[in-house]
Amino acid sequence: MAPIVRPDIHTPFHIDFGWFEQNGRDLREEMYDALCEECRALYPSPAEKRLVDRVDPETAQVMRVDALWECLADHCGQKPGFITPATPLTTAIFRALLANENRPLTPEQLHRRIGKSNPNSILRVLMGAQIENGIVPAEGDGKQV
Ligand SMILES: [Zn+2]
């Protein structure tokens, strides 16, 4: 086993999709829950899967993605009500990653995005005994497929 590097506030975290499968939870349903009313009207059911072309703003590559990701990244996630001071911290962290298309974010970046708590408390939540919403350190990812 590779040595485990202790995560700090500069360690990127992301959502591990496999965790949802292993824990019998449906990621698409949770994404659906995060949609705003307008988008929910567009997608009457979380079971309905639609693929859309999306241009990556950083690489300009065209990718086929689940339409829910596009909604969350380009629409709902940009709205002020997506994450509010009343949003529980674990939910706010999860939503920030959804709006970022699950590109990894460090506790420091998460703190800036959600505008509450502080990087160290966010790190503590992420490193808690119970994995919340499948959020795990993104480092070393892709090496063990
Ligand atoms: Zn929306």
Using a CB cutoff of 5 Å, list residues around ligand 1, an ion: 36, 39, 75-76
Q: In the structure, what pLDDT confidence band is assigned to residue 143 with cuts at 50, 70 and 90?
A: very low
Kindly give the distance from the C-alpha atom of residue 75 to the centroid of ligand 1, in angstroms, as a whole number.
4
Extract the runs of DSSP E, i.e. beta strands, from 28-121: 51-55, 62-66
Q: What is the mean pLDDT of residues 129-135?
A: 84
pLDDT at 10 over 80: yes
CA 86, 88, 91, 96 torsion-angle sign: positive
Kindly give the distance from the C-alpha atom of residue 71 to the centroid of ligand 1, in angstroms, as a whole number.
5
Q: In the structure, what pLDDT confidence band is assigned to residue 144 with cuts at 50, 70 and 90?
A: very low
The DSSP 8-state label assigned to residue 35 in this structure reads S
Give the pLDDT score at 145.
37
Kindly give the distance from the C-alpha atom of residue 66 to the centroid of ligand 1, in angstroms, as a whole number.
14
Kindly give the distance from the C-alpha atom of residue 39 to the centroid of ligand 1, in angstroms, as a whole number.
4
Distance CA(120)–CA(123), nearest Å, equals: 5
Q: In the structure, what pLDDT confidence band is assigned to residue 55 with cuts at 50, 70 and 90?
A: confident
